[in-house]
Amino acid sequence: MAQFMRRIFIAYHFKLQFMKKIYIFLLPVLIFSCSTQIQYIGKSYQPVGDPEVYVAESEIKKPYSIIGRGYIKVGNPYLGINWNQVQKKAIKKASQHGADAVLIVQKNAISPLPAIQTYGSIDSVGKGLQTFSRTEAYYPLSTWHDILFLKYK
C-alpha cells in the first residue's frame, strides 16, 4: 500500500512539474500572440533617429514622399486596438526603415447603397401565435486607419 501511494505521489509530482514547464512556455506565446502588430510594406533607408508623429496631413509643413504603409494586425479582436501600442510600434517601425515621420489617419466611408436588416420573432400567447417583425434600412459606415511612413525631401 505504501509503495502504491508513493507511486501516485511521484506521478502527481511529475505531472505538476511538467504542467509548470508547459505554462511557462505557453504564457509568453499567449501574451505575444494577443498583442497588436504593425506590418510594414515599402522601401527602407538608413535609420535617422526618432521620427515625428502626425495625425493630420495638414500638420506636416515640410515636403515629403510616402516610403511605406503600415497595416494593423489585431492580435485579439475582442480586446480591441490599443492605440498607445499602435503608436509606439509605428514609431519603432519608422525608425527601423529610416522614415522621418509617421502619419496615422482615420478614414471613414459611408456606403452609397443601403443595408436592409429584418428582425422577427414568434411568440405563443394563449392558444394563438403572434408574430412580430421590424425592418431597418441604414447606410453602413466603414472605418479604417492608414499608417503612412514619410521621408522628407
Q: What is the SS3 assignment for 50?
A: coil
Of the candidates 21, 143, 39, which has an alpha carbon nearest to the alpha carbon of residue 90? 39
Whole-number Å distance between alpha carbons of 42 and 70: 9
The predicted-structure confidence for 2-55, as pLDDT tens digits, reads as follows 777 777 777 777 776 766 666 676 666 555 556 788 999 999 999 888 999 999
Same domain, 19 and 68: no
Q: What is the DSSP letter of 11?
A: H
Same domain, 146 and 91: yes
The predicted-structure confidence for 87-114, as pLDDT tens digits, reads as follows 999 999 999 999 999 999 988 888 888 8
Q: What is the SS3 assignment for 22?
A: helix
Same domain, 28 and 88: no
Residue 6: domain span: 1-33
Same domain, 6 and 66: no
The predicted-structure confidence for 63-89, as pLDDT tens digits, reads as follows 999 999 999 888 776 777 888 888 999
Kind of pairing between the strands at 52-54 and 101-110: parallel
Q: How many domains does the chain have?
A: 2
Whole-number Å distance between alpha carbons of 149 and 94: 6
Residue-level pLDDT at 74: 81
The CA-based angle 50-54-60, given to 5 degrees, is 100
Same domain, 29 and 67: no
Same domain, 93 and 24: no
Segment holding 39, helix H or strand E = strand 37-42
Same domain, 55 and 89: yes
Same domain, 20 and 78: no
